[in-house]
Structure 1
Amino acid sequence: MESNLLMNFSIDKENKMVNIKREFDAPLSDVWSAWTEAEILDQWWAPLPFKSETKIMEFKEGGRRLYAMVGPEDQKRWSTFDYSSISPKTNFKYAATFCDADGNPNSEFGSSYWDINFSEKGERTIVDIAITRDSLEDLLKIVEMGFKEGMTATMKTLDTIFESRKK
């Protein structure tokens, strides 16, 4: 089934930024929970056949999420989210960094700086994401690695979670 929900993905090379604007057919409180609670994040924050597995999650300013994307052969790719600001049900920001299982950063990749805004539009919720990298080269590298396809797939998985709650 093709979704009629808004999904915009654009690259702003001048500002080393990716913008994603995505609409969800769910109330703001549910969408906020899906982005901020490990139990729900782990159900959708990885493109299939990968799954997300949170080791540590402290959703607070100065807090951290340490998680792995786990592949079908149980291979793990670790990352951290370091939360820098949180305005409940409105916005939160974090730096996302590839790392090892203990959270030590992988210096090859640098970080992505996420700024995520949430707003209500009737019965639906809009999530507006700005992701900045330190260099255009870094930004293009994550896009080449399939970032758009991965984000599109994970958002569809999140749609499925919201649909299943309505039944």
Structure 2
Amino acid sequence: MSKHLAFDFSVNKENKTITVKREFAASLPLVWDAYTKSEILDQWWAPKPWKARTKTMDFREGGRWHYAMVGPEGEQHWAAADYSGIQDQKKFIALDTFTDEAGTLKTGPESKWEVTFTSEGAVTLVEVHITFPDLSDLESHIKMGFKEGFTMALGNLDELLPTLKK
């Protein structure tokens, strides 16, 4: 990551939120595609050596991204993002939950993601605002290594973006 690109990760336990602000040296349409097209998400979403593997992707309001995080030993952790709002190349809102391979919700921490995209010329700012229903859900995410894992995944995207065409 360039030293000139912004990155901020903050936790607000009082409001049960995590906010991540990250700039990318790429156009807004390219960064939008990286967050909304499974063939690109699968290339960067998981922290190495893990891989993301999409089972289904239906990026529309009322649609779902169902995917697995696949570990180096072949272990799979399934999750889904259920999209409740989309403004093309501006914002999307999704409920993130753990599932099984069939897509059935499992108990565990869930979170609402509001992801906004802002063009700053050759740089795109992505702001991820994650809200948890309970403080214990937020704390579970932190204990699972969310900050480290998401930071690594964003680094993967940094590496991937220059190889993509738009």
Question: Which moves more between the two structures, 6-15 or 22-31?
Answer: 6-15
The residue identity in structure 2 corresponding to 1:64 is: R
The residue identity in structure 1 corresponding to 2:112 is: Y
The residue identity in structure 2 corresponding to 1:61 is: E
Question: For residues 10-159 of structure 1, what are the structure 2 equivalents within 5 Å?
Answer: 10-107=10-107, 109-159=108-158
Question: Which moves more between the two structures, 157-166 or 90-99?
Answer: 157-166
Shift in Å at residue 13 of structure 1?
1.1
Preserved contact between residue 68 and residue 79 of structure 2 (Cα < 8 Å): yes
SS in 1 for 2:14: helix
Preserved contact between residue 109 and residue 140 of structure 2 (Cα < 8 Å): no
Q: Distance in 2 between matches of 1:2 and 1:117?
A: 21
Question: TM (normalized to structure 2)?
Answer: 0.96
The residue identity in structure 2 corresponding to 1:127 is: V
Q: Distance in 2 between matches of 1:5 and 1:68?
A: 29
Provide the aligned length of Structure 1 versus Structure 2.
165
* Residue matched to 2:163: 164
Superposed CA RMSD: 1.3
Q: Distance in 1 between matches of 2:11 and 2:118?
A: 22
Q: Distance in 1 between matches of 2:22 and 2:93?
A: 17
Preserved contact between residue 81 and residue 97 of structure 2 (Cα < 8 Å): yes
The residue identity in structure 2 corresponding to 1:32 is: W
Structure 1 spans left out of the alignment, 5+ residues: none
Shift in Å at residue 164 of structure 1?
2.8
The residue identity in structure 2 corresponding to 1:104 is: T
